[in-house]
Amino acid sequence: MEQAAAPAPAKAEAPKTAPAQAEAPKAEAPKVAAAAPAAAPADDGAGRKTYMAACSACHMVGVANAPKLGDTAAWSKRMEQGLEALYNSGINGKGQLMPGKGGNASLSDDDVKAAVRFMLKESGVNAG
């Protein structure tokens, strides 16, 4: 008769399944909340992609005094001229050493603006 008590633990396991099912919807809620912030990294992704393709050759090492990515002081000084001035430099070039659109005429103005915002953000400078 002691063996008859053995099926009782199997019944005790059944309620364990029910709470696990109740916890499943809780796991779905954070997924929905995480979807909202995904919009910001998408812009960072576009800016990063353009930076890597057209800007990094000079801005990674500071060719011809280009502000290096991550150099807060240098980017802050450039930002004193205003964001539109930085966009203009990126789109149209600056002097003889910095070609417009990083030398890639197929880039859109928005691509260049995204790269400028990316460089500012990565350098700890608020683009406003």
Cβ-based neighbours of 84, under 8 Å, separated by 6 or more: none
Q: Is the pLDDT of residue 48 over 60?
A: yes
pLDDT class of 122 with cuts at 50, 70, 90: very high
Q: Which domain holds residue 92?
A: 43-122
Q: Is 2 contained in some domain?
A: no
Identify whether residues 50 and 83 lie together within a single domain.
yes
pLDDT tens for 79-88 read 999 999 999 9
Q: Is the pLDDT of residue 33 over 60?
A: no
Among 124, 95, 90, residue whose Cα is nearest residue 110? 90
**This prediction's pTM:** 0.67
Is there a contact between 74 and 66 (Cβ–Cβ < 8 Å)?
A: no
pLDDT tens for 50-86 read 999 999 999 999 999 999 999 999 999 999 999 999 9
Which CATH number goes with the domain that contains 117?
1.10.760.10
* Total domains, the chain: 2
